[in-house]
C-alpha cells in the first residue's frame, strides 16, 4: 500500500486558489489517487479521483505528473466553507487492500 505524505496544515484567504500536494513515491501501477474532504463530526466526502494527467470537476482539479509520485489538489477561489481536513488516498479496488488515511491537511480559510 502506497504511503502518502501531505502538509499538516495550510492557511489561505477567501478568494484565493489553494494547492495541496500529496507525495506517494511507492504508488503501484493499478493505484488511483483519491481526495476526500472532512468537516468536524462528519464522515469524509469524496472530492475527486484520478489516475494520470489532469482531472477537473465542479469543485476541484487534480494534477498528476507523468511519474505519478505526487499529486496536487487545486481548489479554485476558496471560501470560508472550504475550511476542512483534506485527505489524499492512494489505492485501487484490489483484494486485501487496507485503506489507510494519513493525518490529512487541515486547511483554514480566513476572511
Least distance between other proteins and beta carbon 68 (Å): 15
Query: Cell numbers of 96, please?
Result: 486485501
- Closer of 69 and 106 to other proteins (Cβ): 106
Q: How far is CA 81 from CA 29, 30, 51, 110, in A?
A: 35, 34, 28, 10
- Closer of 12 and 49 to other proteins (Cβ): 49
- Closer of 65 and 92 to other proteins (Cβ): 92
Which positions from 21 through 50 interact with other proteins, judged by CB under 8 A?
32, 34, 36, 41-46, 49
84 phi and psi, to 5 degrees? Answer: -175, 180
SS (H, E, C) 28-68: CCCCEEEEEEECCCCCCEEEEEECCEEEECCCCEEEECCCC
Least distance between other proteins and beta carbon 14 (Å): 27
Contact positions toward other proteins, by CB under 8 A?
Answer: 32, 34, 36, 41-46, 49, 87, 91-93, 95-104
Amino acid at each position: 500500500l502506497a504511503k502518502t505524505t501531505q502538509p499538516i496544515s495550510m492557511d489561505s484567504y477567501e478568494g484565493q486558489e489553494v494547492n495541496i500536494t500529496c507525495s506517494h513515491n511507492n504508488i503501484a501501477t493499478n493505484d488511483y489517487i483519491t481526495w476526500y474532504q472532512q468537516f468536524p463530526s462528519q464522515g469524509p466526502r469524496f472530492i475527486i479521483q484520478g489516475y494520470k494527467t489532469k482531472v477537473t470537476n465542479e469543485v476541484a482539479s487534480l494534477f498528476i505528473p507523468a511519474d505519478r509520485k505526487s499529486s496536487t489538489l487545486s481548489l479554485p477561489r476558496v471560501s470560508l466553507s472550504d475550511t476542512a481536513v483534506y485527505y489524499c488516498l492512494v489505492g485501487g479496488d484490489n483484494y486485501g487492500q487496507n485503506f489507510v488515511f494519513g493525518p490529512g491537511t487541515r486547511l483554514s480559510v480566513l476572511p
